[in-house]
Amino acid sequence: MKKRAVIVHCWDGTPEGAWYPWLKAELEARGFEVAVPAMPETETPKIGPWVGTLTTVVGQPDEQTYLIGHSIGCQTVLRYLESLPPGQKVGGVVLVAGFFTLQGIDEEGEMIVRPWLETPIDTDTVRTHADHIEAIFSDNDPWVPVANERLFVDRLGATTHMFHGRGHFSQTDDTTELPEALEAVLHLVERELARE
């Protein structure tokens, strides 16, 4: 069965932005089938349409399915996992600059992001659908406080990686390649193979 990866871009992002094309090419070179969907109304992301789009793109998830999210894309991945029926599992999850709390958001952005921050995620349910979650953070992310690293460990049992001076891992930080995300996906695949 072919390994699949779905990359969910950030708020105001596109499939062609940041490190997404690079990671797609790297995974495809290793035999993955990769989708980077254009999420709806990217400038004003809403939970329902974003989770609905991801649900459609993934189709039938299985343990050969790997989900990668960036920023609000991480929230989308977690909320998608929360929505799965009991017993369905994915192979693993990589979250880049994910968050439960934010800082430095202007008033307009605050209105857009508030439902994402205030609508709870049942992290216990999420964990039943993904045995392995890797989360990547930067110590100078302007929007994601470093305290999120501890939240991802406590709430999701994530394996976390804190990098120095990488900002939000976005196009504005000149992040066009993200080897750490590739390594995280490949590590998840190795873990899955070791279990078989």
* Nearest residue to 148 (alpha-carbon basis) of 161, 129, 130: 161
User: 120-168 pLDDT, tens per residue?
Assistant: 999 999 999 999 999 999 999 999 999 999 999 999 999 999 999 999 9
* Res 70: pLDDT: 98
Residues 124-157: b if buried by 16+ CB within 10 A, e if exposed: eebbebbbbbbbbbbeebebbbeebbebbeebbe
Number of H helices, E strands in the chain: 7, 6
* Res 193: pLDDT: 75
Q: Specify the DSSP class assigned to residue 60.
A: S
* Res 173: pLDDT: 83
Q: Which residue positions in the chain have pLDDT lower than 50?
A: none
Assigned token pair, 133: 């979650």
* Res 177: pLDDT: 97
User: Would the pTM of this model clear 0.95, i.e. be above it?
Assistant: yes
Going along the chain from its start, the domains and CATH numbers come out as: 4-195 (3.40.50.1820)
